[in-house]
Structure 1
């Protein structure tokens, strides 16, 4: 009888997630807010609380986090990460400063303490690479000149998680300074070792994992990932970091094959993860934190736009492309919930889960809108105020200004946002040969 109820509840959850995903796809927006709302509806204090299947959903949610980080690692090679660190680290520093500090300050102002401040800083810092990649594809901007700038910032954020998550894990575990330092040292050492091995022996690892049989490839990659994630968690480094490092270590055809095989599993268990987070958030706890969440969302939307604008300007992108870059970075999603989920499980601050849920719900809806309309709104404001998007008086019509059209061969080059010629720039794509967002 117990197993029958479990199957009925879990089957209903999966069916509901599928229907919600189809609904979101029809209207071309992220299904993440719908998954969170479903969790709120069937969790503690919801319309119809679940009981029997909650433990099974918890295991599925943990697998969802592991697969999210594995797939993220598969998107990048070790050389990609090293290259981004060398060329784009100033943008990463600006991104962290402008977007993590508001979250930390908000937690301290609400009296939540330093640990909750570090957690909320991560929630407000990390953009949703999954939502952003989908929005860029839907808007046809994957070939735009500002897109590599956006992806570089996302890569740096993802890489920073390999350091940030062990810090959070140590803080939430309440370990002392010595133990926490040891945990961080192990995490950094493991990350450095994996990057070194991936650069030097990536082909050897890929040959070991490679298989022409999709079934064997799936089993080996999935088994290796869960094994490494478990070992990492046993060492208090974070299972997510272990999965991320496995993804980085795989490259070439193996990474492409694993990506296509694991993508449906990732989507399934990631959806279960969002539902699980919602299940543990009482809907009645959201209204008291809704106004702070709205204020924080408005502030960090502006700081993300400023981050993208500054990074694109540094890369020589024209004013229109700068606004598009900034608007595209606003969405928060899966990793903000992952970070908040760690704190909720540890029982750090009761209001942190509802705050993170409301915050992500707001920005995962607003993010696609800012990506689409940040540039035209900025242009409209510039016309009304008589100033350009760069904040200087508009030039007379006879003078040349940065445009989105290709520069004439005989003229001095100006920043553009048109897709680069194949010989000039290489940008991530969704084609089989690329390792860009999927």
Structure 2
């Protein structure tokens, strides 16, 4: 485990010098030091890190819940919800069609719809910070799209769990789905109306007791969620949603941050351990086609969002490239698919797809002006050239994920 941490740290430090995000480097460390590559093998059996990896996944979604507020969606109004729904319709729809075109199976196509459809909020936030765009007007719709994606992810995972569990009949699948959504509804009601009670129970001035309390609550509810057929990560997300609105929410965010980073690194490292590089060539063309499809859908979504907000070509290109990266959510779906015994080609496909986009996404975002030159001229561009465009106000952000 110590070797895993050190290897991930060394690779991430080296990649950081040339501007690469950490997620693909953590995965690469697992691939290089796993049982499927020659040389040093730190962990011969990926299952040895299974519990630590699960904890990393739980903490990733718990932190996301802490950062997420329903008020963010209300404040954005209809345009933000419409931009998010448009982005999801284009990318999830394209992913579903792509999955069926591959012919790997219906369950596999549903997994691929989520993999191709949802951006990495961690990488998107890091891109906004690294490119200095937090104050840009297009940052509001970008964060709004992420918020809508988070809501969709919670519902999608809850709906997907009964399908992947392999119910014996339609009645059993419906029963499993009803049980999962019933428990999800119970968690949602607790997050909506139980915040004050939970806040009083959680309140303490002692950081040690607070860490033990929120960690115990997140992991316990995640375990109970699995019992009811809801993904453990979604149970943790709902706990984060509840605790984020309490008086201790800000302290919890600060205290859980290093835990999330440490065990999140183990989650990505463990996923890399399960990847056999020898399987990647067999899915090379599907991966490249999926990357091109995702780029095309993001450009279209960026153009449509730009028209909704009356942005010019530059902001539209920024939206398209900033949201391009895929990361933690795709790996969550890969973990679920592996546990359900789906097509073996899914894991290497998702690994190659995530690695490529996690690297290309930030690089493309830094060169969005190249894309802007190729986009069709928008109304805003004409107004700016004629000097009649109204001035844009800087964006005041409620939150910015890792930038906080």
- Scaled by the length of structure 1, the TM-score of the pair is 0.84
2:28 to 32, 37, 41: 37
Distance 1:189 1:90, change over 3 A: farther
2:134 to 142, 162, 180: 142
Correspondence 1:355 to 2:349? yes
Deviations 1:358-379, CA, capped at 9 Å, x for gaps: 11111001111222222x1134
Correspondence 1:239 to 2:209? no
- Structure 1 equivalent of residue 398 of structure 2: 428
Contact persistence 1:40–1:278 (CA under 8 A): yes
SS of the aligned residue for 1:156 comes to helix
Correspondence 1:97 to 2:83? no
Deviations 1:360-410, CA, capped at 9 Å, x for gaps: 111001111222222x1134336xxxx62x2x79859973364xxxxxxxx
Bigger CA drift: 392-401 or 332-341?
Answer: 392-401
Distance 1:143 1:272, change over 3 A: same
Q: Which runs of 5+ in 1 are unaligned?
A: 1-9, 403-412, 421-425
Correspondence 1:310 to 2:297? no
2:358 to 360, 364, 370: 364
Contact persistence 2:33–2:43 (CA under 8 A): no
Q: What is the CA–CA distance in structure 2 between the aligned matches of 1:110 and 1:170, rounded to whole Å?
A: 23
SS of the aligned residue for 2:211 comes to helix
SS of the aligned residue for 1:222 comes to helix
Distance 1:379 1:100, change over 3 A: closer
- Structure 1 equivalent of residue 223 of structure 2: 230
SS of the aligned residue for 1:286 comes to helix
Contact persistence 2:303–2:317 (CA under 8 A): yes
Q: What is the CA–CA distance in structure 1 between the aligned matches of 2:173 and 2:320, rounded to whole Å?
A: 35
- Scaled by the length of structure 2, the TM-score of the pair is 0.91
Once the two structures are superposed, the pairs formed by residues 5-84 of structure 1 within 5 Å of their partners are 10-47=1-38, 48-51=40-43, 54-81=46-73
Q: What is the CA–CA distance in structure 1 between the aligned matches of 2:187 and 2:74, rounded to whole Å?
A: 12
- Structure 1 equivalent of residue 196 of structure 2: 203
Bigger CA drift: 227-236 or 165-174?
Answer: 165-174
Structure possessing the higher radius of gyration over alpha carbons: 1
Superposed CA RMSD: 2.5
Shift of 1:67: 0.5
Distance 1:398 1:301, change over 3 A: closer
Contact persistence 1:187–1:237 (CA under 8 A): yes
Deviations 1:175-234, CA, capped at 9 Å, x for gaps: 133333334334444444444443444233222212211111110000000000000001
- Structure 1 equivalent of residue 281 of structure 2: 287
- Structure 1 equivalent of residue 271 of structure 2: 277
Larger helix percent: 2
Q: How many residues align?
A: 401
Contact persistence 1:428–1:437 (CA under 8 A): no
Q: What is the CA–CA distance in structure 1 between the aligned matches of 2:16 and 2:128, rounded to whole Å?
A: 15
SS of the aligned residue for 1:141 comes to coil
Bigger CA drift: 190-199 or 301-310?
Answer: 190-199
SS of the aligned residue for 1:342 comes to helix
1:174 to 157, 161, 166: 166
Distance 1:399 1:188, change over 3 A: same
Contact persistence 2:34–2:274 (CA under 8 A): yes
Q: Which runs of 5+ in 2 are unaligned?
A: none
Bigger CA drift: 214-223 or 141-150?
Answer: 141-150
